[in-house]
Amino acid sequence: MTSDVIERLKAAEPELIAIRRDIHRHPETAFEEVRTASIVAQKLTSWGFAVHQGLAKTGVVGTLKGKRAGQKAIGLRADMDALHLQEKNAFTHRSTIDGKMHACGHDGHTTMLLGAARQLAVDPDFAGTVHVIFQPAEEGLGGARVMIEEGLFDLFPCDAVYGMHNAPGLPVGRFAIRSGPMLAASDSWTAVFHGTGGHGSAPNRGTDPTMPAASFILGVQGIVGRNVPPTDTAVLSVGHIAAGAFNSPNVIPSDVTVRGTSRSYRPAVRDILERRLGEVARSTAESWGCSVDYTYQRRYPPLVNTADQTAIAIAAAAATVGAENVDGNAAPITGAEDFAFMLEKKPGAYIMIGNGGDEAGGCHYVHTPLYDFNDEIIVTGAAYWLNVVQQELGAAAG
């Protein structure tokens, strides 16, 4: 990238910071990103993008053709949604909406892609088409999946898609990525154990669902230890237990609900978790004369970067910050991300950009009340996007 482009991004930095802080002040949660989407659409339109609104309610797609002819099209994706969380920061751009907060930095993601979009419009020196995709509802509700279901890739065919997320604990000016599985599949499961319950003084007169529930909770960890191949990895955690009444410790409850989350990186391992959780739940229920209703909800698939596009992302990051600042073999993360749905459909790569701090700390993690996106990295992130476009559609691309 020419220093000229960096200079123009730098010149736009104060305006980009103002956009970022404005979005931060007005956080909007899943599928309600009306204000944010209208800012995005208005800016893209004013810069000469063809703008489509309404996919997954508040999704925005801007399309720009390069000044040179080319058949190839790529998608660059940012997320726009905030979290249900009470912000505890005191700075002037803190959230103005009680109970809502941009605690995952999607305000920054939106801004970095806007910064790149504007520069692309100023100088569309590429061959082919760039679609900038601004999606709603990344946090838990699968906005990417809904956009795809509503025709994202039919309306805007893409040969490859790219995503980016900020990483607190990764220093400013650094990128991290890996080829293959990078983020986990995130699923939920529920087992409701049923027995007769009864008087706590006479358990022999009925069946007690707390027995299989307790045994199941311990047995769950055996699935990871005994059924998941040792060279793979998985996480099973119980997050919710409910039974009986606090004021009735002398009553054996008739139902015990156990809910949890499961994380895995490969479809085969995901299948093992779904099947074995059910088997362990049913067999423990049966052994205590109880029954169980077991459900497994597949939420986010594993996020799998394809090799060719990972190489492109690494080259783009290296062109932005120098090869020595790009970790191309980063450790997988047990978090999940709904960009995984896009990567199920298209080749692509998802990269982490350092938000500051280091592994020892010195920063607030995402989803915590004192987190804030680091404005220092906006230009770096926008430059990365421009380098992806150059790698994919630039003069040197083939």
Q: Which stretch binds Zn ion (CB under 5 A): 61-69, 89-97, 104-112, 113-121?
A: 104-112
How far is it, in rounded angstroms, from Cα 227 to Cα 158? 38
Tokens, residue 386: 């421009």
Q: Does 104 bind Zn ion (CB under 5 A)?
A: yes
Q: Does 252 bind Zn ion (CB under 5 A)?
A: no
Q: How far is the CB of 109 from Zn ion (least distance, A)?
A: 7
How far is it, in rounded angstroms, from Cα 313 to Cα 292? 47
Q: Does 303 bind Zn ion (CB under 5 A)?
A: no
Residues touching Zn ion: how many (CB under 5 A)? 1
Q: Please say whether the beta carbons of 175 and 326 come within 8 A.
A: yes
Report the chain's terminal Cα–Cα distance, integer Å.
Answer: 17
Q: Which is nearer to Zn ion, 209 or 381 (CB)?
A: 381
How far is it, in rounded angstroms, from Cα 136 to Cα 34? 10
Q: Which stretch binds Zn ion (CB under 5 A): 14-22, 103-111, 188-196, 271-279?
A: 103-111
Name the DSSP class of 295. E
Q: What is the DSSP string of 119-161?
A: HHHH---SEEEEEEEEES--SSS-HHHHHHHTTHHHHS--SEE
Identify the CA nearest to 170 among candidates 386, 338, 381, 395.
381
Name the DSSP class of 283. H
Q: How far is the CB of 81 from Zn ion (least distance, A)?
A: 8
Residue 137 — left, alpha, or beta (φ > 0 → left; ψ -120 to 50 → alpha)?
A: left
Q: Which is nearer to Zn ion, 104 or 386 (CB)?
A: 104
Identify the CA nearest to 317 among candidates 327, 307, 308.
327
217: buried, middle or exposed (CB in 10 Å: 19+, 13-18, 0-12)?
middle
Q: Which stretch binds Zn ion (CB under 5 A): 30-38, 99-107, 203-211, 248-256?
A: 99-107
Q: Which is nearer to Zn ion, 5 or 104 (CB)?
A: 104
Q: How far is the CB of 77 from Zn ion (least distance, A)?
A: 12
Q: Which is nearer to Zn ion, 135 or 390 (CB)?
A: 135
Q: How far is the CB of 108 from Zn ion (least distance, A)?
A: 10
Q: Which is nearer to Zn ion, 104 or 383 (CB)?
A: 104
How far is it, in rounded angstroms, from Cα 11 to Cα 5? 10
Q: How far is the CB of 356 from Zn ion (least distance, A)?
A: 16
Name the β-bridge partners of 291.
194
Q: How far is the CB of 139 from Zn ion (least distance, A)?
A: 5
Q: Which is nearer to Zn ion, 104 or 137 (CB)?
A: 104
Q: How far is the CB of 104 from Zn ion (least distance, A)?
A: 3
Tokens, residue 349: 């790569």
Q: Which stretch binds Zn ion (CB under 5 A): 102-110, 125-133, 154-162, 295-303?
A: 102-110
Q: Which is nearer to Zn ion, 76 or 269 (CB)?
A: 76
Q: Which is nearer to Zn ion, 189 or 350 (CB)?
A: 350
Q: How far is the CB of 337 from Zn ion (least distance, A)?
A: 7
The answer for residues whose C-beta is within 8 angstroms of residue 345's C-beta and 6 or more apart is 148, 153
Q: How far is the CB of 130 from Zn ion (least distance, A)?
A: 22
Site map for Zn ion, 58-97, x if CB under 5 A?
Answer: ----------------------------------------
By beta carbon distance, the residue nearest Zn ion is 104
Q: Which is nearer to Zn ion, 156 or 300 (CB)?
A: 300
How far is it, in rounded angstroms, from Cα 326 to Cα 170? 11
- Residue 220's SS3 state is helix
The answer for residues whose C-beta is within 8 angstroms of residue 42's C-beta and 6 or more apart is none
Binding site for Zn ion (CB under 5 A): 104
